[in-house]
Amino acid sequence: MELFREHMDIAVVREYPTLTLAHIGDCVYELLARSHVVQSGIFKVSDTHMKTVALVSAEAQHKAAEALLCMLDDEETALFMRGRNAKPKTVPKHAALEEYSYATGLETLFGALYLQGKNNRILELWQAALKELEG
């Protein structure tokens, strides 16, 4: 997952607002999910969409985050907690606050790792999340 991104030092990444990190992390996580679904051989767009939504929903991200917590180092845990404790202005009607908070934490972590250029770590965490979500 090497994209056109200058790698940032963690000190710079820490300066970004939490929800900005979550914003970029949401994109990274969804790209991984969409790529996985397409590579699995589902070609009908409605099925592709439904499978992707099942992987990226707040409920699924909450489940994934809980499974990943034991794998995180101290810095990653701090980033996750920063996102989990963020105070978004709105919470979608289809998500419980706890699910949404964990999803935001997971997205914050993925965004921070992406900005640091830690693509191998992102893929390692993604594979563990996928294992949890797909059994």
Q: Catalogue the active-site residues.
A: 26
77 token code pair: 């845990």
CA distance 25 to 74: 19
Q: Tokens 């034991």 appear where? A: 70
CA distance 115 to 112: 5
H or E segment at 78?
Answer: helix 74-84
CA distance 38 to 30: 12
**Three-state secondary structure of 26-71:** HHHHHHHHHHHHHHCCCCCHHHHHHHHHHHHCHHHHHHHHHHHHHH
